[in-house]
Amino acid sequence: QQQVKQSPQSLIVQKGGISIINCAYENTAFDYFPWYQQFPGKGPALLIAIRPDVSEKKEGRFTISFNKSAKQFSLHIMDSQPGDSATYFCAASIEGGSRLTFGEGTQLTVNP
């Protein structure tokens, strides 16, 4: 049972375009929603995270949009670059993040 559903499974974007990855969750007790970025041969690394008391968080070209009523959140990558090509995982947890439940992952390819 996947408590966090992520889509799409793969995404191809042209350089300079906007990449959008969506996640939906079921457990209303989740209160911390991080996104992790994983390059080939490496472990995942925290990219950006949000708590449900805000609807949006922006860090540079990366923005999380959060819709509590719909139980959905998304990652937007503005001005996508080839260096952004990686696998992205959304996740959710209760009480701050110790037990993360991950989505299935999205493999992003940004073409030059």
| Rounded Cα gap, residues 26 and 112, in angstroms | 37
Residue positions counted in the chain: 112
* 105 near other proteins, judged by CB under 8 A: yes
**Residue 28 sits in the site that holds other proteins (CB under 8 A):** no
- 4: tokens are 């966090």
* Beta carbon of residue 69, minimum distance to other proteins (angstroms, whole number): 23
Q: Check residue 93 for interaction with other proteins (CB under 8 A).
A: yes
Comparing CA positions, the residue from 26, 28, 9, 1 lying closest to residue 89 is: 9
Residues that bind other proteins (CB under 8 A): 2, 4, 6, 9, 32, 34, 41-46, 49, 51, 89, 93, 95-105
